[in-house]
Amino acid sequence: MNTLTYTIQTLVLAGLTVFTNSAFAHGHGHGSHHDHDKHSHGSHNHEQKAHEHGVAQMEFVIDKQNILLAVNSPLYNLLGFEHKPKLAEQKQAVKLQLKNIRNGDLVSFNPEAKCKVLNIISEQPFDTETHSHDHHDHQHKHDDNHKGHKDIRFEYELYCEAPDNLKTLDSSALFSAWKNLQTLRVQWIGGGQQNAISLDREKTKLSLK
């Protein structure tokens, strides 16, 4: 397991979630190594997140030039349904959303920081006819049948050539692609600080300074 993956899991599971829940309650707003067992932690994170239609969670850690970012969401936000796709248009919708995730641009940082997505790891709750599997993209089937609800999770690992220029995160592409997403609850750690904020369709950018 690489250092960044371990860091974000440890921080979120050990107490950052508590910090975030408190903040929301009060209205406040690296290399190419891959961890092939990364899907094993998904159920722990899902269990700690309430399955709420219209709402997704994002967590990211900034560690010098490296960023690890994870997004967890009910499938409803992407597809408008959470059952196994049966109709051709439903199957096509699943493929389109998985393609959007693999493109690596649903979430971005300001261009002055020169951040590049190195790795993409995505979990999918359904078997699909095609599986893209190269050294930059890993997909894992994730079974989450709690009360019929299904979630999806993806992670981006980025390397920034100019981390001192990191100023903003932009989630507008995520809101554009996920038609039923209304609120994105964000928590992050960087520069020795931890922060939490909610983004929505009217406010899709957050300041890192």
Q: What are the pLDDT digits (tens) for 29-45?
A: 344 333 333 333 333 44
Sketch the domain layout of the chain as residue ranges: 3-207
Q: Measured between alpha carbons, how far is 209 from 189 in angstroms, rounded to an integer?
A: 12
Task: Enter the pTM of the model.
Answer: 0.72
Secondary structure (3-state) at 131: coil
pLDDT of residue 59: 98
Geometric angle at alpha carbon 9, from 191 and 200, rounded to 5°: 70
Least Cα distance to 58 among 107, 103, 98 occurs for 107
Q: Measured between alpha carbons, how far is 73 from 54 in angstroms, rounded to an integer?
A: 9
Query: Which DSSP state fits 78?
Result: H
pLDDT of residue 159: 98
Q: Tell me the C-alpha to C-alpha distance, in Å, between residue 130 and each of 21, 80, 92, 95, 181.
A: 38, 22, 11, 8, 26
pLDDT of residue 25: 42
With a cut of 70, list the residues of the chain below it in pLDDT.
Answer: 1-49, 127-147
Secondary structure (3-state) at 130: coil
Secondary structure (3-state) at 45: helix
Least Cα distance to 166 among 111, 108, 113, 105 occurs for 113
Secondary structure (3-state) at 152: strand
How are beta strands 66-74 and 151-160 bridged, if at all? antiparallel
Q: For the purposes of burial, counting CB atoms within 10 Å of the CB of 152, is it exposed (0-12), middle (13-18) or buried (19 or more)? A: buried
